[in-house]
Amino acid sequence: MAAPVKTLTVAEQIQQLNAARKIVLENASYYDRIVKGILPIIGPSSPVELRRWGAEFLAESLSTPALSSRDKENLTVAILETLRSLVDSPSEDPLVLKASVIAAASAYPIAMRWIIHNSYHKESWDSISAIKGRILRMWDGAPTPVKICCIKFVQRVILTQTASNGMEQKVGGLDVSLSMIPPNHPLLDPRLLEAEAAGLLDRLLGVLQDNSSDALLVDATLNTLAILARTRPSTSARILNKVLDFNPLKLANSPMTPRSKVLIKSMEKTTRQLLIHWLKRDQNGPLAPRIQQHIERLFTQRKEIFDEANRKRAFVQPPAADYNDAKRPRTDSGIAPPVQRPAPGPQSLAAVYTLTNNPGLQAFDATQVPAALAAKINVRTLAMTNPQVLEQALEAIRIRFRTLWAAAAAAAPAQPAAINAGTAPLGVDDDDDDYEPDFYAAEDTEQILNKLDSAPSEPPVEEAGVLAPLGPFKLQAPPALDPDLALKVGQVTSNRVFAPLSGLEDVTQKHKAGINRLAASSYSRDSWLTVITRLATRSTAGLEDFSSGVKPEDAGNALDRPRTSLSNLIRETLYNYVLEDWRRRIDVAILWLCEEWYNDQLTKKNGTGAPLYYDKWAPRLLDGILTYTTAQDKVLTRFVAEIPELNKALLGRLKSLCGDPTKVQLACQTLLYMVMMRPPAREIALNTVADIWVEYEDARPLAGKYLSKWRPGFIESQQALADGSAPSAMIAV
């Protein structure tokens, strides 16, 4: 007889689920297996504890950065039905609803991307549409925590159903927008989706339009608007106008309570921080003065409201009593404090001016106080000091000075002081009043010259220095340069090389000097960039011997760290400088790669065995540019056309653009330009177009059009090859 199956309690099941969660946190490859395994036990009929845990785990799984976009797509398609059942339950637990809405916010853009690329999967579109409709219906009547999650979900819907500006960096490659939807998609209509997003934005801004006093909803709405305004330019004008019309200090008109004070401060601070963030990003915009005025007005009103509320009650003078024995406020008696006589003997000025008997204050060194602080303390103290007390203190100082003067006069000897005749004033005579000087005849010029001739000759100044011999002078040996310190100094040097660029202006007229271009012809931005590129490519040429086969003594230490030279540091800084604004600095990128290619040709010609840098930096720079490329960036074609050398690795990177349907035309047109205008690279470009036709099904119409003209017969051969492989596969089976 078989033993009965033991039924686990809810606590034991949650304990096992926590152990599974710990496993996926350590190894993300188990997410797919564990998520699909827990779906049957977190359905609507499961205990509420299991549903809470399952909803939170689904939200965590869809938002983790450890999974790639492809893995998240597989998870999203698998959990849509379970997520729909959790949201559709009419009497669902608020905590389950909260976690389910957060999971839906993460799943919506992923599901939309899946539907865009897989138009046949109508079930996914029906499920995500039902989830969206249910969340929008319960938005207004849900508890406050669920409302906040609904606001986040609405933000993700608006981001997905509006056109992107194409300038923001993609987070994990997931920047789903209306631009990705092709016009002829069977399930998605861009016009209807954009209209729905506009309506949701108006509904989201209704919280600000109504001047709601719910600080939680207002703060949640304001926090979602910053991303919308930055990444979706079509929504920025409406958002800014609503924020400027919103009055976060509306509650100040009603009686102030501790709760209302907290709410007002929270809403005002969130509004002000949003506007400050907006102003920093667009300081020269047309609405910048209005934003600045609104920020100052909010700050002033907040200060007036809370300073008035926190100000103490003014003192009211009580009326005078009719009787004499009433208590009266204590007044100063006007009696001067006793003056302490100075001790006999010499006294310092500090001792003379010290009126306190406190030893701690007497030992305090007032010179340690900053002059500005001391002046502020003195001004405030004098303004608050009673004039009678100040006059008493001054009189005490005068008494001390009189005492010291009297003691000094009594101790002095009773004899007149000697008078200096040279400094004595007029009318004061010395003892020798009857002095009469003798008048002698002055010497003439001839007598003075005779005395000078008879005087002994003085040695010249140069001979006096010879008498003191000097020993050898040696400079102190410099300290040993640590590799880490050398790396830091090199980084500082490379940064200082780029410092003058911020103060240089662009030349108004560019001359095509070509190979005759001089780096120091003028102090302009172009000339300085030429200097920088040549510092990166040629500054250390010949200084490092790569052909020697002798291994240095510290070769073991050299293997522990990568070789970092000043040229490589300048290259790294130049790479970051180009990518900061690559559309405007495409000329700098082309100039740099031309210099690298020329230096590599010289290196190959000399045969020194030095490393080549063009094949390293050209693909890296192209990868960095492709990361920020949009479908309208025709400047990419110019960059690929003007770099000095093309190879299969460089053109092969253009294939990655075809992963986005909106960029297929840009990639194919760039390759067509190479075919037409660069005959040496024609075959490589055609091979790349052929690879695009084979690997990307969405790009086949445009790639096939180019191949039929420049490589006739290729498409027919591929189709024949595909038709021939199918029967052979059936025979093998």
What does the angle CA 68 – CA 71 – CA 72 come to, to the nearest 5 degrees? 85
Choose among 187, 120, 184: nearest CA to 661: 184
Model pLDDT, residue 689 = 92
d(CA 570, CA 493): 9
Q: 398 in a domain, yes or no?
A: no
Q: Reduce the DSSP state of residue 27 to 3 states and report it.
A: coil
Q: Reduce the DSSP state of residue 729 to 3 states and report it.
A: helix
Percent of the chain with pLDDT over 70: 74
> In this predicted model, which residue has the larger pLDDT, 521 or 355?
355
> In this predicted model, which residue has the larger pLDDT, 692 or 250?
692
Give strand ranges (E) for 173-317.
none
Model pLDDT, residue 311 = 54
Same domain? 302 vs 210: yes
Report the predicted TM-score, pTM, of the whole model to 2 decimal places. 0.46
CATH number at residue 149: 1.25.10.10
Choose among 30, 29, 42, 126: nearest CA to 77: 126
Model pLDDT, residue 690 = 92
Domain boundary among 131, 153, 188: 188
What does the angle CA 317 – CA 319 – CA 323 come to, to the nearest 5 degrees? 135
Contact 626, 651 (CB under 8 A): no
Q: Report pLDDT digits (tens) over 528-547.
A: 788 888 888 886 544 454 44
Percent of the chain with pLDDT over 90: 20
What does the angle CA 511 – CA 515 – CA 521 come to, to the nearest 5 degrees? 55
d(CA 198, CA 22): 42
d(CA 344, CA 365): 24
- Mean pLDDT for 666-694 is 91
Q: 592 in a domain, yes or no?
A: yes
d(CA 709, CA 373): 84
Ramachandran class of 607: left when φ > 0, alpha when ψ lies in -120 to 50, beta otherwise: left
CB-side exposure of 685: number of CA atoms within 13 Å?
A: 24
Q: How far is CA 398 from CA 347, 353, 409, 461, 593, in A?
A: 15, 10, 17, 60, 84
Q: Report pLDDT digits (tens) over 155-192.
A: 999 999 998 876 565 555 567 888 888 888 888 888 99
What does the angle CA 80 – CA 84 – CA 89 come to, to the nearest 5 degrees? 160
Q: 367 in a domain, yes or no?
A: no
The type of residue at 147 is K
Same domain? 707 vs 617: no
Q: 322 in a domain, yes or no?
A: no
Tokens representing 498 are 């780029």
Integer-rounded Cα Rg, in Å, for the chain is 44
Same domain? 250 vs 295: yes
Domain boundary among 308, 326, 349: 308
> In this predicted model, which residue has the larger pLDDT, 186 or 253?
186
Q: How far is CA 430 from CA 288, 402, 412, 416, 421, in A?
A: 84, 32, 22, 12, 7
d(CA 466, CA 534): 52
Q: 588 in a domain, yes or no?
A: yes
> In this predicted model, which residue has the larger pLDDT, 664 or 410?
664
Q: 77 in a domain, yes or no?
A: yes
Same domain? 89 vs 231: no
Model pLDDT, residue 166 = 64
Model pLDDT, residue 195 = 92
H helices within 89-189, ranges in order? 94-117, 122-137, 144-160
Instruction: List % helix, strand, coil for the chain (3-state, nearest 5).
Output: 65, 0, 35
Same domain? 617 vs 633: no
Give yes or no for residue 295 having a pLDDT over 80: yes
Give yes or no for residue 292 having a pLDDT over 90: no
Same domain? 586 vs 611: yes
Give yes or no for residue 594 having a pLDDT over 90: yes
Same domain? 285 vs 146: no
d(CA 506, CA 387): 67
Our count of domains for the chain comes to: 4
Q: Report pLDDT digits (tens) over 620-673.
A: 999 999 988 988 889 999 999 999 999 998 998 898 888 888 889 999 999 999
Angle between helices 635-642 and 614-627 (to 10 degrees): 170
Same domain? 21 vs 159: yes
Q: Which domain holds residue 238?
A: 205-308
Q: 375 in a domain, yes or no?
A: no
Choose among 261, 357, 253: nearest CA to 310: 261
> In this predicted model, which residue has the larger pLDDT, 628 or 555?
628
Confidence class for position 283, pLDDT limits 50, 70, 90: confident
Q: Report pLDDT digits (tens) over 443-485.
A: 556 666 666 666 666 555 444 444 455 667 777 877 777 777 7
Model pLDDT, residue 104 = 93
Q: 287 in a domain, yes or no?
A: yes
CB-based contacts of 391, cutoff 8 Å, min separation 6: none
d(CA 189, CA 340): 97
Model pLDDT, residue 157 = 94
Domain boundary among 281, 308, 335: 308
Same domain? 540 vs 686: no
Produce one character per residue of 95-132: b if its CB has 16 or more CB atoms within 10 Å, e if not.
bbbbbbbbbbbbbbbbbbbbbbeeeeeeebbebbebbb
Same domain? 502 vs 591: yes
Average pLDDT, the chain: 78
Q: How far is CA 444 from CA 148, 258, 448, 454, 641, in A?
A: 112, 105, 7, 16, 97
What does the angle CA 639 – CA 643 – CA 646 come to, to the nearest 5 degrees? 110
Confidence class for position 128, pLDDT limits 50, 70, 90: very high
Model pLDDT, residue 456 = 62
| Rounded (10°) CA dihedral 479, 483, 488, 493 | 80
Same domain? 62 vs 114: yes
Give yes or no for residue 432 having a pLDDT over 80: no
Of the listed ranges 402-411, 560-569, 615-624, the least confidently predicted one is: 560-569
Residue 3 CA, distance from chain mean position: 64
For the chain, the farthest-separated pair of C-alpha atoms sits apart, in whole angstroms, at 155
Chain position carrying tokens 């990166």? 536
Model pLDDT, residue 559 = 35
68: DSSP letter = -
> In this predicted model, which residue has the larger pLDDT, 558 or 447?
447
Q: Which of 70-79, 444-453, 565-574 has the highest mean pLDDT?
A: 70-79
Model pLDDT, residue 7 = 74
Give yes or no for residue 610 having a pLDDT over 70: yes
Choose among 190, 82, 81, 203: nearest CA to 137: 203
Same domain? 104 vs 161: yes
Choose among 197, 108, 89: nearest CA to 149: 108
Give yes or no for residue 548 having a pLDDT over 70: no
634: DSSP letter = T
* Entry field: residues in the chain: 733
Ramachandran class of 338: left when φ > 0, alpha when ψ lies in -120 to 50, beta otherwise: beta
Confidence class for position 102, pLDDT limits 50, 70, 90: very high
Model pLDDT, residue 313 = 55
Give yes or no for residue 576 having a pLDDT over 60: yes
Give yes or no for residue 560 having a pLDDT over 50: no
CB-side exposure of 395: number of CA atoms within 13 Å?
A: 11
d(CA 189, CA 167): 24
